[in-house]
Structure 1
């Protein structure tokens, strides 16, 4: 830990000091670290030192009014938690601190201090009660806000401060209070904070799952854009150099759509990760408070945790609408190069396309011929076709297959489209299905009559007897069984 090391690092951020500030108990922290800490834990313009738990008053001008600590020896003393005597200036370690004079005293100077008439009523405490001592109960006990040497007896709810019995009778007797010696009430507050902390932990899990969903969608968008760009490249290579510039323009549309959608999701992802970080900080701070014996810290922490929980519950976790890119190839014709190169489609769902050969399919005698895998929502999908015979008729069957991960099932909506090389008379079928572990495939057995598909005059086959099937796939639900 920083407080027990000779390395000059801030005990809050555990990094080198930046604009070090020396507070009243002679401990040093970074300016920004101290400022953030005070904002989180201060009450009634006072805050407990992160190291020794001594209450320190915030200057009227804010954290910047604390003196700068630039002397290495002084900072090492502050880190190690044993400051020197402020009176004799001999460098001897102090053993006491006067809370009224705000001075550290060695044994000799304490005797001199106590002999002065004006100092007889000053509160002088042992240095162990204001320095770091993890095994000491002094750190964990609640102290009176006005009398640091006295143990707090009550917590005034009206003033939000802990006071000793004398202060309560004198200034707070008519106020609502909490008896800090009532173990039942104390345990009640601890249980309340523990419950709130657990609630934040649940929200963190929900936020993480939401972030994972966002990341999967981002991957789909990137894969979709990558596939589209690769298709553009292949089509451009089959054409001539005259249309390469047009190909770049089309890829620019794809990249622009990808960048816009990715940027939108990355912004949400960044906000969610920031929210997770804030909630983790709140949980960690609450955990630290709960391990402390101080009930005041628990009580003071509860409103902040309640606020964090309420804010987190207001955040909606609905998946945003996103758009995907898909590039539809055309038949190359130099007279209409731009049109034949193809067009970029901005679709609401991921799309996969596979080419199949009619001659090969006929040789399979009803068995499937499969296309390549595509990743959608982190899952692998691919198309399969077969020649389905029934009575004296034959049809083209088209199916969507899913490579299941462990014991999962999912629900998808999909649409099949059989491309026509003439751009007309496209045959398609809309359907949806719930995929399960027992049967991870579904489709249509009669997308088109086989004779209609095989007749080249109908425009479904190219010169090599190839035909193309497109499937748009929207995964609406994934469940783990």
Structure 2
């Protein structure tokens, strides 16, 4: 079984004080506590990932089983064993069994109406997966046959052709010869006769070539393909982690929307029927925002799932290629997988700017209906990427580099400097309100020093803080990174001109 991921799907960072739910999903203790406070209803709350209803123990979140850093939990069975040390599994929700049962779709592992089979992938697929199979570039040209009418014919055909295979990698031009050479410059596999003929015409002049008949070359090509498969799996894990994070954000939007609508209902109960229409208008605004923001995340999540499916299919095709003897197919698969890897690496996995529905209740029943019921207020989550240069950051100079930005009708600044201990410090200040009136705002925020290798980026998350438009109100954070490490181009944080980027993520609460 695969090793369990140590990332919390709520905060998308390494888990702190991990707690195991009865559905076998694991989260940070504090993240789970904040989530339960928002979503608890009748002593139960839905799991942020699988949405299974979880019964909150009498002792609260702290009573869920701990998962220690030293625990070697290698699969679902081990998690179950860890839980059953103190918990009664008789109340656990039913967990779906793996798709090893006869009749399940080999792709989605859930549909039982399997009507088709892919001759290239050697998989049984359902109607839904067949549609996706036909759209993905990697699999759209595969041969799909009707499961009932064509499966027996396919098996008979494969059986009759077994043992009558043609020679491996024959030359399409000189059919009696085998392909022996790969021209790196032309990216073409040819036989020796083709190479000589084409070289005489100046086709391969000066190009590096590989002897495909050489065992060491074949071994290296196979190892390269295996390495590319490993890299593609790493990209799948990266996309899956981000997809899980999007799922938790979808859940958060739902919870905020439901909480806002409940507050609307509670406020409306205090007033007469005259304000009911106003209440419905506010709920419509909230739900419109909810649908708009969900659509943003759904589109992005579906894109992640599509990319994951394509990469998995590429790996499966690669494994089939590796089992075969054709070096040409291995060369071609190397090239396709390398292109797939480069394409996925270029994806910027950043949660889009979002608006979280909220509700501000009215307080004075003597005012007009609109003020009495309240108003819809969307709490924003926004990302800012601000650029700095190491040459402008001097030790002990607070105002060495400042970047301004706008958030919730307020003007803010982010300053960077170097402390005496040689470490980078960031300071954030609330400058003024665009409406020229004093304002207060509560936010959660995080700094991420971006690296060209995403896994090396440095992130710092901070608790909720209240800011006001009083002059000089702000906060600072030191010890983010050593300046020497930041300035070293080999570490990937700065470009050749000394520029580096800070991603500031702010969420209004």
Q: Highest CA radius of gyration, 1 or 2?
A: 1
